[in-house]
Amino acid sequence: MICLLLANFYIPEVNAQTLREMREELEELKQQYEDNQFQIDLTEGEIAETEARIAAIRTRIVEIQENMYELRNTIEQLNQDILTKEEEIKDILVFFQVANGENAYLQYAFGAKDFTDFIYRLAISEQLASYNDELVEQYKQDIEESKRKTEELEKEEQALGEERKDLEIELAKLGDKLSELDGDSISIEEQLRMMESEIELYESLGCSEDQTIEQCSAQVLPPDTTMWRPVPTGYISGYSGWRIDPLDGVSRDFHHGLDISDSGANYRNYPIYSIANGIVVYVDNSKTYQCGGRKVYIQHYINGKFYTSGYWHLREATVEVGQVVTKNTQIGIMGGYKGTEYWDICTTGAHLHLELSDKPFNKENGGTESINGLRDGFLRPELYIDFPSKGIYWNDRT
């Protein structure tokens, strides 16, 4: 019941502080999304062309192999024909191997009616022998030509095979590039939804274009004095910080939150509450196949300081953007996994991933990592909320 949180979101050089600046960054993000889609289309076109070239090479290799098979059969048949003709020549040459009278008369006796006929037959035999000699030579030339063509085809097959391997390597690279672009696209789409939701919220709160978000939030956020545990019973299953990837056990990632679970959480509707009074600034209640699943972000004003709490791996979100909540408001149901519904790709079981930031909600503390691997304003929830040690159950929220 631990979570791998990966992010590859857009990181602006200047954090938006006013609605006007946020709108400008939103337009930049939209342009980045269009550029990303253009690159996706371009890469898909390159993949299609590469696949077509590989298919053409495979077809040509099959043709070459069929041609080489036919040439080898031709060579085999020509060799057999040569043996046959050489036997015929040997039979014909018997006429010219007159070692004694007996042999000559014997050949004559085999078919000639008279001596003239014998001389005629001898001349025909000589012509046949000569003709067969020419055939044998022609057969040998045909064999050499077939061998030459076979060697050429073998070289072409080898060259095509090497080209196919190169294309398959290139195709794999293009596939990786497309996967990365698709991942970026999903991240950018989520960022667009978050920014649009955020702008809409601050508009509804009456924030002016050039008023800072902190100034505006301070006027409308319900104040509070402390943070409460987000669940009435449970235990800590994982701390924030650097750790081994729980999904592959190899790579390292920075865990930006506190993991909380309870027995039977996979199979019952375990309520999640806001850690303090605040306003809901972002809700993702879709069934999008993504890391973190359904999410809620709430902005707080506690003891004169701004905080943002994030709740990941929800089976369901039960609040809406702009809704004012208290510490007793149920904001969702613990999830990440329920039966066959596995919408969350970064969890090994039902739990709550609780995040905390000391910045007003924006893209950065909405999931984006900065260059050092830490999210903007990242705080360890266990240092601000009274939790027992890892694995120890609690039975109340204080």
pLDDT value for 9:
31
Backbone angles phi, psi at 314, to 5 degrees: -85, 140
d(CA 302, CA 206): 21
Which run of H or of E encompasses 280? Answer: strand 278-284
CB count within 10 Å of CB 97 equals: 10
d(CA 13, CA 145): 70
Q: Are strands 294-302 and 278-284 parallel, antiparallel or unpaired?
A: antiparallel
Rounded mean pLDDT of 124-129?
Answer: 59
Say if residues 199 and 19 touch (Cβ distance below 8 Å).
yes
Give per-residue pLDDT as tens, 52-82: 999 999 999 999 999 999 988 888 888 887 7
Closest Cα partner for 184 from 10, 15, 12?
Answer: 10
Q: Cα–chain-centroid distance for residue 213?
A: 39
Enter the tokens of residue 231: 């669940």
Return the domain boundaries, the chain: 16-212, 221-398
Categorize the per-residue pLDDT at 364 as very low, low, confident or very high, splitting at 50, 70 and 90.
very low
pLDDT value for 370:
36
d(CA 246, CA 203): 41
Say if residues 351 and 325 touch (Cβ distance below 8 Å).
no
Q: Structure pTM?
A: 0.56
CATH no. of 221-398? 2.70.70.10
Identify the top-confidence range among 8-17, 79-88, 224-233. 224-233
Say if residues 358 and 296 touch (Cβ distance below 8 Å).
no
Backbone angles phi, psi at 33, to 5 degrees: -65, -45
Dihedral, CA of residue 136, residue 139, residue 145 and residue 146, to nearest 10: -140
Share of the chain above pLDDT 90, in %: 29
Is pLDDT at 340 greater than 90 in this prediction? no
Is pLDDT at 94 greater than 70 in this prediction? no
What class has domain 16-212?
mainly alpha
Which run of H or of E encompasses 63? Answer: helix 19-93
Give per-residue pLDDT as tens, 156-179: 889 999 999 999 999 999 999 998
d(CA 84, CA 132): 10
